[in-house]
Amino acid sequence: MSATSIGTSVAGTLRTWRRATPERVWPAGALLLIVAIPVADFFLPPHIHLAHLLVVAVAVTAVHAGPRVTSSLGLLAVLALVVAGAERHTLTTESVVIELVALVVVVAFLVFFTRLRDRREGELARVRRVSDATQRVVLRPLPDRAGPVTLASEYRSADADTCIGGDLYAVARVPGSTRLLIGDVRGKGLASISDTATVLGAFRAAAHRRLPLPELVAYIEDTVRWSLAEFAEPDDDVAERFVTAAVLDIPDDEPVVRMISCGHPPPLLLPGTAAGVTPLVVPDPSPPLGLGLLSADTTYAPATFPFDRGDRLLLYTDGVTEARDRQGAFYPLAERAALRQDRPPEALAATLITEVREHTGGRLDDDMAMIVVQRDRDPSLVG
């Protein structure tokens, strides 16, 4: 047999072993142990007794199997102890009786433990399904394309095993332009989902009405203020609840982007024809949504920035730029984005979010959201 054939055979065996689940491998090993112990006892000297090791087989099974398999192997272990005692004519001795009672008690405990564990795992699986369904309803995935732009997004919640939190984003396609929203509800994780749903619902309800950008943001502001007043708990401090947001409008037939910033971190412009990153700082930013600081006769002022074919926008929440390492240093988003601006939008977003997690050592103190927007289609081709 050639070296190549041997290598292929070994690789195939390893792949088969990896595919074998612990639920199958460990019970099979435990079963062999249960059978081997009475056989070994038969050939060993009288002063060497291995039957007490039967509990190890049951315990290992309980770690990887459910209550049905554990109880079955536990019963076999009890029978194996009886057989081992009968072989040595010690079944009625005090030591063997004590071992037998102890094994029965341990098996009963392990079966009870596996039943509780399976019930808990079932509850966690249902909670995870509800969380995933909530994310799909509240924080819908962004499409790959919207008009003349390509979109890529990443989201990480500060709460472990949670798919949604206080950061939010949405896109709406209207005749002649694409509208984007990215925001950050004060707070993090599950506690901020209500305000997240309010902002997203208001944006989706109004974005398609062809309202001018200032009127769109004013509508979202009114909805957020009404929601905070209507659904606030008696001990809630409404003045401390607000949402930072940036609302953008990307026309199909103009190489620009119009934006209203409500206290949100400035997006980064990555030009397609040159290296470097430019923060899009709005000259006259508005206060965060929900604070009600604008007077009735004051309108939101959009700012216009160049955004031509090949250019990219990097939208993000402060969970990205305020992520710290163990020495307290912030993650240098602009610097890292400049080094990787030649990557496709999806790869760029995924790489930067991965680097943030590595920068913090895997721990997240805040939710993170990021969108990469690339204008890459001729306006005349947009339907």
pLDDT for 196-205, tens place per residue? 888 998 998 8
Q: Considering the domain delimited by 139-381, tell me its CATH architecture.
A: 4-Layer Sandwich (3.60)
CA atoms within 13 A on the CB side of 226: 9
Mean pLDDT, residues 246-263 = 95
Mean pLDDT, residues 168-183 = 93
Confidence band of 3 (pLDDT split at 50, 70, 90): very low
pLDDT of residue 277: 93
**Residue 322 or 95, more confident:** 322
The length of the chain in residues reads 383
Cβ proximity of 351 and 307 under 8 Å = no
**Tokens 């209550």 belong to residue:** 67
pLDDT of residue 338: 92
According to the per-residue pLDDT averaged within each range, which of 127-141, 217-231, 261-275 is highest?
261-275
Strand-pair partners of 181: 170, 247
Amino acid at 218: A
> Which of 187, 295, 290, 293 minimizes the C-alpha distance to 229?
290
Query: Who contacts 22 (Cβ-Cβ below 8 Å, separation ≥6)?
Result: 64
Mean pLDDT, residues 26-55 = 70
pLDDT of residue 356: 94
> Which of 242, 309, 316 minimizes the C-alpha distance to 279?
316
Phi, psi of 52 (to 5 degrees): -65, -15
Structure tokens at 23: 């639920």
Mean pLDDT, residues 85-105 = 77
Predicted structure pTM score: 0.69
Mean pLDDT, residues 123-152 = 82
**Residue 3 or 30, more confident:** 30
Structure tokens at 293: 């600081």
How many angstroms separate the Cα of 121 from the Cα of each of 62, 143, 157, 158, 163? 14, 33, 21, 22, 18
When mean pLDDT is compared across 25-39, 72-86, 227-241, the lowest value belongs to 227-241
Antiparallel, parallel or unpaired: β 368-375 and 278-279: unpaired
Confidence band of 10 (pLDDT split at 50, 70, 90): very low
> Cα angle at 293 between 171 and 368, to 5 degrees?
40
Confidence band of 161 (pLDDT split at 50, 70, 90): low
Cβ proximity of 324 and 330 under 8 Å = yes
Q: CB count, 10 Å around CB of 15?
A: 10
Element (H, E) at 179: strand 177-185
DSSP string, 211-236: --HHHHHHHHHHHHHHHHHHH--TT-
How many angstroms separate the Cα of 287 from the Cα of each of 75, 221, 263, 300, 320? 69, 10, 5, 10, 21
Mean pLDDT, residues 267-290 = 90
Confidence band of 96 (pLDDT split at 50, 70, 90): confident
Mean pLDDT, residues 341-350 = 92
- The residues spanned by each domain of the chain are 3-132, 139-381
Cβ proximity of 325 and 340 under 8 Å = no
Q: For residues 177 and 218, give the distance between their C-alpha atoms in angstroms, rounded to a whole number.
A: 19
